[in-house]
Amino acid sequence: MGPDTVVAWQRLRRRGQALGFDLTIASGFRSYARQRMIWDAKAAGNRIVVDGKGRPLQRASMSDGEWIDAIMRFSALPGTSRHHWGSDLDVYDAAAIDDGYRLRLEPDEYTGDGPFAALSDWLGDCISRDDAEGFFRPYAEDQGGVAPEPWHVSHRDTAQGFSPAVSAELLVPLWRGDPQWPETSPLALGESVIDRVAELWGRFVNLGC
């Protein structure tokens, strides 16, 4: 995490503790290499890709374009993930679950009778009042691209320092495995992504702060 994110997170966590929550980070900083590994595994059908109801999809029954759309509903293209910036966190309430609980980071855990619904409501209330120590939810609503992620919070001031530097022009050579980047190889389904990059960027890449 970036230093300002750390300070803000510690303040938010202390406030949560006073209310009985144990705010815990499930995922924080994620490198390009790690995001690339996730992407390539999903693109190859070696890691589960699900539909909007959490049901596994079959690679063989979908076109490259359909598969890319399905992946990007829940996973960012490498280089576009907000987790690269040290500003974004996936969080849950460790006090609400037993040690053996298998965390899924799915919406039903954060709504209704889900174990993290109370935490989610509290965070939502704080954010709505601009009283969440500078954090907000970049994926609060379904706008036809990335699925809602009530567990995902972003430290606005830190994110604002990175979002202007992210562009398709910078990333396309990486995805192509350009020789000027000797440690890279072509992204799985990379040419199909590049052919639609303007459309996919508009639908799925959220750099807003």
Tens of pLDDT, residue by residue over 67-102, are: 999 999 999 999 999 999 999 999 999 999 999 999
Query: Quick one: pLDDT at residue 62?
Result: 97
CATH number of the domain located at residue range(s) 3-164 in this protein: 3.30.1380.10
- Segment (H or E) for 92: strand 88-93
Q: What pLDDT shows up at residue 182?
A: 62
Sheet holding 152-155, edge to edge: 23-27, 88-93, 152-155, 135-136
pLDDT of residue 207: 80
At residue 86, the pLDDT reads 96
Residue 177: predicted pLDDT: 86
Looking at residue 138, its pLDDT comes to 96
Q: Which residues does the chain have with pLDDT short of 50?
A: none
Count of CA atoms in the C-beta half-sphere (13 A) of 149: 25
What pLDDT score was predicted for residue 78?
Answer: 95
Distance in angstroms (rounded) separating the CA atoms of residues 88 and 75 = 14
Domain residue ranges of the chain, discontinuous segments joined by +:
3-164
**Measured in whole angstroms, how far is the alpha carbon of residue 106 from the centre of its chain?**
12
Contacts of 95 (CB under 8 A, 6+ apart): 20, 21, 22
Residues 6+ apart with CB under 8 A from 104: none
